[in-house]
Each structure stands twice: as C-alpha cells, then as structure tokens.
Structure 1
Amino acid sequence: MLKPVGSRCNLNCKYCYYLKQSSVTEIMDLQILRRAIEETILLNDTPEISFCWHGGEPLMAGIDFFIKAVELQNEAVEKKVRNGFRKPIIINTIQTNGTLINSNWCRFFRENNFLVGISIDGPEDIHNYYRINRAGERLYEKVIEGLELLRDNNVEFNALCTINSKSKGRGREVYKFLKSKGVKYIQFLPVVDPEKEWGVEAEDFGNFMKDVFREWWENEDAGSFYVQLFDVALANYLGVSCGLCQFNPSCGDVPVLESNGDLFCCDHFVNSSNYLGNLNDISLDRVVFSEHIATFGADKSATLPVICKNCKFKTLCNGGCPEHRVLKQSQDFYLNYLCKGYKMFFEFALPYFKQMAEQICSDRM
C-alpha cells in the first residue's frame, strides 16, 4: 500500500482513524516513488503485482503524479523482462472519497485499467451525517457525481461503505441504494470506536449484515453483485485462502509506505512499535522478509484468546482484524469488539454457505 499524500485529505470525516495517527501530509517525491515501484516489480516474482494507492485522499497528489507512476511501472516491467524474467501483470487500485473525480481522472483510470474504490455510506442522510469537509459542508451530491462519472465512463469501480451508528437497522436499504447506483462490488467496513457516538455496536453490525444477506439472497444476486464479507467467509468455509488479511490466520502481507518513505507493518498500526524503517535507508526485500514483520503477522494467531480458539466459526474469521481486539480476556489476550456480531451473522449464513458450497462442488464435477 502506497500513500502518495500520506494522511492529507480534503474531507474531515468524524470517524476517520487517520485523524488519530500519521501526521505525514507531504506529496511523495520522485525518488521514493521510483524506488518503491522498481523494487516492488523487480524483486517480486509473482505473475501479478498489485499497487494499492491510498490516503488520506490520494487524488490530491494530482493526475501528473499517477501518470508518472504508470510510466515508472512500465519502465520497471521492461527492465524485468530484459533481465530474463517473465512479464508480470500490474494491477492498480485506488481508494478515493470521490469528490475530486472529473472526466480527466476517468479517462486516466480507464486507459490505465485502474480499479477505483469510492467511499459512500449509503443514502444522503447516512452519508452526510459523519462525512464532511473542513468547512463543515456535506458533499453527498459531489460524491454521487463522481460515482456516476466513473460508471458512465466505463471505469471499473466498487464501493467502500462504512457501517456506523446511523446505519443501524438499514442494511437492506443501504444495499438496495448501492445497487441502484450501479455498484457491483461492496466492501462494508464497520466503524469500531466504542467510546464515540459514530461507532457501531456489535449486535447492530451483525443484524445489518444479516439484512444485507437476506436482500442479496432473496433477489438471487449471487454472481451479479458481490459483498466482500460473503465472498471471504465462503472462501474460508471452503478451505480456500480468502485473500483478505483480516480473515486470514496471519497478517502483515500489506506493509504501508508513507509519502515520506516511512514503512510500517500495517495501515492500521502506524506507530513506533510497528515502524520498519525508511525506504531511503532500507530495501523493500529486507522489510518484507524481516523478522519484525514475520512476528507481527504470526502474532495474530498467537494472541487469539481461548474463546476464539474453541469457537466453531474460528476458521471463518480467524479472530478478525487485530485492530478491533479491544475486549480484554485473560492475560494480555483481547477479543474482537465485533465478535458477537460476526457470530450472529455466521450462525445465520452458515446454512446458505453450505448450500452454495454444494453448488460450487457440483458445478466442478
């Protein structure tokens, strides 16, 4: 994950966790950008290499920054092929609040095959409640304009939708709304902040996802509309790697590069304990294969409380994201704040997972 402007953003969303951590807001300079891209491509021997551009608001780096990034990617791929290695497929994803999207951005995204994630929390009253700019303005209409530009210009996009206190009891409504806007793939992100008004309660999260699943199932949306939680839980049910760190047994596969070159184990743990060094002083391969990041990844399973290890749903969630483990159990072990909600959802969805798994196995015969 690369953060070209660090945590800088043109919005000031009340629940944003970046407000609590990194103060890096400079634009990534060419030297760091070049080194990050070259080392990622030249040192990686996988058939596909992904660059996830995040923020803050990455579009604040400007379109010329990303034009240069694509040029550097192409140069590194050519160099790799000249050195006798196979040509990798480069995948670019970018997460944006949608307010800066225009026709020029759409043309760039389409021509360079960027997958765009756009942040939208649902209908206007939900979206506008906590998502404001620094002047206190609510920009729902601007976000919808950006989403429609992506859709109408045939840019591949998906939606990142937080579940917060204002989403309570409105799972069906939010899902139907996103479908109506042409969203085919949805990542629901629960806001865990127990001491703040915007945090979602575990039970409310579980009920929200159950309602979304009901709407998805009753309309036979499987294969046409995708909800990340459904996909990854089903993959884990089938014993296939789900590809999402928070539901894998270990994490640490996605180190984050701040715009000043600082490297951390994870975007949710940008702190001194998880600092890996600066790209100006250390190579990426030393970071990726370091004992520090290996320990960070292994700790996810090593610090699971007993209640998780004995849970019948353990293989579906693997304890969830360590960032959400805030409910103290015994010793230094903590339970995921959303545990009750996940259990509610998995208990409800398990018969459907079994049915889908049987269908998948039947189709493969």
Structure 2
Amino acid sequence: MKISKGCNLRCRYCYEFAQLNSRERMSLTDIQRVYQHVAEWSRTFSTPTVVDFVWHGGEPLLFPPEFFTATFEDQRTIFGEDSSVRNTIQTNLTVLDDSRIDLLHEFDRVGVSVDLYGGLRTNTRGHDSVRLVLKNMDRLHANGIDFGCITVITAANAPNIRKIVQFYHRLGVRSVRLLPLIDGAFADQHLTYDTAPVDVLATLQEAFEELVRLDSDLLIEPITTYVRQAVHHHMPGTTPVIYDKAAWETVYLVDTNGDVYSYGNAYDPEFCHGNIIREPMQTIVQSVGHRRAIETAAERVAEVCPSCRFFGNCSGYPMAEEAPLQQRQGAPLSCDVDRPMLEYVEHRLQELGAIDQARTLLAVPVVRPHYIRPESPPLQSDIRIRVDSPDGPSLRARVALSSGTTDPAAHSNADERYIAEAMVPLLPFNAPTDHELRLLAAHSDSSWLIGKDVAVIRFPTEVIDPVRHVIEGLGSDLARVTDREHSSHRAWRGAYEPLVDYIKRHHALDAGEPRVVRLGRSLPGGLTATEDTVAGRPGLHYVGLHVDSWVDTPLSMREHSQNRICINAGRGPRYFLFINITLTRMNTMLNGTELSSMSYYGSDLGHEFMAAFPRYPVVRLTIQPGEAYIAPTENIIHDGSTLGMKHQDLAIHLIGSFAPRHVVDARDPGLRRSRWASGS
C-alpha cells in the first residue's frame, strides 16, 4: 500500500525520485474502500488466508500516528476482530518520536531500509542519514520492537558486504533482505554506482561466505532461499514446486491513487489491473492488465526455466516476478544471478559436508498447492482459440482439458492397434477453470497468427451437404479414403468446386489453391482418429497424438507454414485434440538444439515433449456439424477423437493458408502471412 510518495529523504537510486515532493496521499475513506474490496474477496477463499497490508511510501511515518490508529479501527470493523489480517510497515526510520514508537508496537512487523555504507540515502540537504537511522535502531531495541532490514546492493556498498553481514549479525535483527538495483527514475541515474548481474552475484557469494565464517543463524534473503532450494534438490522424494501466477498471487502493489499492479510489472500502465478504490478485487484479478501480466510472467518462465536443473526446487518466481524489475533495458532475458548462485551454494554446501546436515535442519515439508501439476509446467498461453461460429456454443462449452498424456495401454478401452511409439490423452477430460479458459481464449483485438492460432468457423449447409453425400456414397469401408477414390466419384467436382470457391472467397489468405489432403471417416469411440499410412505395416494402426508434415517446411519455420481447415461433415459433433504449445516453445522447454538443425518431422519432438511433461494437458475442442477448425497442425501436437460420439465421423481436411472470415475480410495488417504458401 503506497499511501504516499512524499518522502523526507532523497535516496539517489530511488525509482520515484521525481515524485518525492508529491503531496498526494490516500485518505481514510480511500483505504476503507480498499478494505471492503479485499475483505469481500477474501471471504470467497476456500482455505484460511492471511491478508498482510504492507504500508510504505514515500515515508509512511510522516503520517501522524492518529491516521494509523483510525485506519486500524476501520480495518477491525470491516474484517472482524478474529480475521487473519496483519500489518507491516517499511520505513527509513528517520522520523521517530515517542508517539511513533508507541505506534510501531501496533504493527505485526517492522522493516527498516538502510544501506550502512555508500552515502546514497541522503536527506533533502544531501547529508547521509545513516547515523540517525542507527541511533533510532537503538531506540527500537530499547523499546522491545523487533525489526528486519532491507539493504540495496550498489557499487558504493558492495565492497563492504562482509562488514554489513557482520553488523547485522551483531545487531541481532530478525531478518535481512539484500536487493539489487532496479531501473531508476531517469537515464543514467545510477551511472556512478550501478551494478551488473555479475557484481550482484559476487556480492551475494561474499555474503554467503561471511555467514559461513561467522557460523551465524542470521536469515539473509535471498541466501536463505538459495540454501533451501539447493538442499531441496538433493532430498529424495520431494515434490517439485512451480510458481503459477494465475492460480495464486502472493503480492499485489497498490499505488497512491488505488491502481493495482503485479510485483513483476510494478507501476507499468500497460499492466495495470484496475483500481481497488473503485473496483472489487474479483474484477481486478480478471482484468485484461492482470491477464497480460500472467501471460508475460508465464512466457518468461517457459523461456528460461525448464532448461535449469533446479527448476522445481526454484519455483520460477524470480524469472516470473523479479526479472522485469532487475533486467536493464535492452538486455536479453536470462537468469544471471539465481541459477549461478544456486550452483555456487550447492557446491559450497557439498564442500562443507553440509548437505546431509542441512537435510535434517531444513527438512520442512514443502506444501504443494492443489493447482500444481508436479511433472509439468502450468498451462501455457502459446496457442489461442477463437470462436467465429454464429449461434454455436461458447468457448467454455466447447473446451475440456485432459489429465495429461500416456501410452494407449493405460486405457482399457483403447484400441490395441496403435503404433509402438504412440501417445494419447490421459483421461478423464475436465472442464477448464476460469484462469485456464483465459489462457486458451484469444484476445478479441489480437492479430491472427497463422502458425499459432486456432479458430472455429461455420460453413453454410449448401456448401457442406454435397461433399457429405460424396463421402457417404463411397461405401461402408471405414478405412481412410484416398485422393483417387474421392476425386473419381461422379459427384465430386460438383461438390468440391463450390466448397473451394467458398474457402477462397472467405477464408484464404493468398491466391493459392486449397488442397484436399484427406477425407476422413472414423467409427465412434476412438480415443484418437488418425490412421498410420507407413507402407509395409500390416493392418490398420493409429498414430496417436502427432505433428503433421504435409508441407516440407523446416521445424524452425513452422510458425510461418501453411495451416489446415478440417470440416465436420458428419451428423454429430467431433473433437479436435491438441497441446497448446508450438514446436519452438516445446524445444525451448526441453532445452533442445537449434530447430534449424532438426529433421522435418515434428512428431519426434512432440513425443519427446510428452515423455518429459506427461501431466501437461491436452485440449479437447468440440466441433459441431457444419463447423470447422482452422489450426496450425504442422506446428502443434494434435489429433481428432470420436470418443463418446454416436455417429460415424466424417471430416474433410484441406491444406492452405487460412484465417477466420473477419480476418480475411479486413486483411488484418498484423497478419503473419505464409512465406511457404507463396513460394518465397
């Protein structure tokens, strides 16, 4: 809760340096509304939850003590006397008198910001504030007030990090947090005392060594977390912990005007979730800004973390929430401090023979929230779905998620005729949560991406019926219909030409001729639908979840390849199954080689992904009769399914460069066109 930006110090690295004279502040009425919205939201939780209001600024102790006395009374009235509400204050501790000492007793936790060395925390006259802060620390001790400290690592105090650790060790504070610099309020603000990631790493290593030398029980973050994570890595049977921002978020930042942000996108207007003074929390957590913050956090984790052997010991939180604040403008996204620090701590604990001892000392059970899938990352937002079918079901009514993927033998009702390497969805399928639905749904204003987007569209009855009659007239054999069989049918031309003409007018992105690659007919009850066509393999076999290679496009270019229209020409609904991650993202998550060096066959990469992440869900999308899906089947793991169907499945598959009708009509300027379809 940033109740004011006004401050009596002028710390040279402050990211709000230009606003430290601001007189804007939250009123008691504003804070009452915040309480009301948070209280209403917290009462919907299914498990007891502590709500911790962290009061900071600016300098919160510039407010008269009576202000806090009044707002704490409002807090008790709104939340109730027995509620799990805590109050923490973060102060520069330069404004302290007897009334404020009495006030600090009312807080559950007190944090003091002090750097000890470097002279960067100055008052408005440019004088270092450290002597006054140390004097006031003594007053806190004398009055029985426990406190912790925050120290910002800069080039001005990093050379004295061992002395800083020694000071806190002697002081006997409850905890200390060492923070890196973040981008300042203006260019070159940190010019004379900036630190690179390698400097922060070296400083944390020195702090660790000093703690070892002192044999200190002082808790210094993030070092304490590194030790726990390194030990967790060596404890057999531990459950991986993956940060899932969408399922639960531990910190929300409230600006002075009531605007709400996630920690990783602090005060960035593009990621504002809403205003908690005016809006309920339920609206805020479902906002576009919050969704955007969730997506970018998940993208950072997916880009960097899966290749790290500590992922699951480290939850990915530093990359999700801390990286945007610490990453300098223009610098590539990477884990330059946490990963090497974990490696360093692990190595030193092994050298010290402390792993076994630490297992005992730190064997605190890791509580895994219910939403974590232990062997897989959380649902990504790589592939998004659009529904462009008037009068058809909503996306929520169409979508279900499997429990992961598995060998066909895991299902007693699975057809035994699968190829040896086949993988299929792990049943059951479940309805998505609200958050999962948001991850799957395309934004209404987003551009169509030919290699990443899935759409549901509808065809006119007069276009579909003639083709259906052709398929049904080809006999009762349920094997795959070949190109020759359908093209030689006497009614084929009269059925095919209106279909292709309709597609070219309303769904084609270029002048290329859509190509029918398959007319599919399948029995009801099939877990998957695609049959094997490898020559010399006897009998009918199913391939399971796979990646198409109809077009000879290198894997590195699949996001620009042609996509597919698959029309449901049957009498009942059918299912499109897919994993909503592109080949490029899969390869990154697997820490694979460059895609340009790999073969044309994406199914090999798909099988490797499913083996590595067996609990990653398969999306099941319902396609009604007369509807079709458009999907980048050359770039995603997918198949059809007839499980639960009552009618024979009839489907028409065409390859080309396709999009929903409104995209083609508008010729979306953000469209990524297919360089392969155009022959370039």
TM-score by length of 1: 0.81
Q: Assess, with a 3 A threshold, how the Cα gap between structure 1 residues 136 and 279 changes in structure 2: closer, same or farther.
A: same
Q: What is the 5 A alignment of 1:161-172? A: 161-172=151-162
User: What runs of 5+ residues in structure 1 fail to find an aligned partner?
Assistant: 82-86
Distance in 2, Cα, partners of 1:74 & 1:93: 15
Tell me which amino acid in the other structure corresponds to 2:153: I
| Rg larger in structure | 2
Compared CA separation, residues 241 and 19, structure 1 to 2 (3 A): farther
Q: Give a deviation string over 1:290-325, Cα, whole Å, max 9, x none.
A: 343143134223134745432334443722432223
The equivalent residue for 2:133 is: 143
Q: How many residues align?
A: 338
Identity, % of aligned positions: 21
1:233 touches 1:317 (CA, 8 Å); kept in 2?
no
User: What does residue 231 of structure 1 align with?
Assistant: 224
Structure 2 counterparts to residues 1-365 of structure 1, below 5 A: 2-5=1-4, 7-19=5-17, 25-45=23-43, 46-78=48-80, 87-110=82-105, 112-122=106-116, 126-127=117-118, 129-193=119-183, 195=188, 196-222=191-217, 225-237=218-230, 238=232, 248=243, 250=245, 253-266=250-263, 269-304=266-301, 306=303, 308-315=305-312, 316=314, 318=316, 319=319, 320-326=322-328, 334-336=332-334, 339-351=335-347, 352=349, 354-355=355-356, 357-360=358-361
Note closer, same or farther for the CA distance 1:41–1:232 as it changes in structure 2 (3 Å cut): farther
1:84 matched to which residue of 2? none
How much does 1:258 deviate? 2.3
- TM-score scaled by structure 2? 0.46
Deviation at 1:193? 4.7
Measure how far apart 1:226 and its partner are: 0.7
Q: CA RMSD in A?
A: 3.1
Does the CA-based 8 Å contact 2:89-2:107 persist in structure 1? no
CA contact (8 A) 1:170 1:208 kept: no
Q: Of the two structures, which has the highest relative contact order with CA contacts closer than 8 Å and spacing of 6 or more?
A: 1
**2:362, 2:123 → 1: CA distance?**
49
SS in 2 for 1:166: coil
Measured against aligned partners, the alpha-carbon deviations of 1:343-363 in whole angstroms (never above 9, x if no partner) come to 442222014284454224769
Distance (whole Å) between structure 1 residues aligned to residue 362 and residue 207 of structure 2: 25
Q: Matches of 1:298 and 1:240 in 2, distance apart? A: 25
8 Å Cα contact 1:165/1:199 also seen in 2: yes
Q: Is the 8 A contact 2:111 2:147 kept in 1?
A: yes
Q: Deviations over 1:239-278 (max 9, x none)?
A: 6899xxxx95648542222233233334852132122333
1:197, CA displacement in angstroms? 1.9
More helix by share: 1
Q: In structure 1, what is the Cα distance between the partners aligned to 2:99 and 2:328?
A: 43
The alpha-carbon deviation at position 167 of structure 1 amounts to 2.1
Query: Quick check: 2:148–2:173 contact (8 Å CA) kept in 1?
Result: yes
Query: What displacement does 1:147 show?
Result: 1.5
Contact 1:8 1:56 in 2 (8 A): yes
Moved more, 303-312 or 28-37: 303-312
Deviation of 1:23 (Å) = 8.4
**Would you say the 8 A contact 1:13–1:130 is kept in 2?**
yes
Distance 2:216 2:173 in 1: 12
Distance 1:233 1:21, change over 3 A: farther
1:148/1:267 Cα in 2 relative to 1: closer, same or farther (>3 Å)?
farther
Contact 1:22–1:270 (CA under 8 A) maintained in structure 2:
no
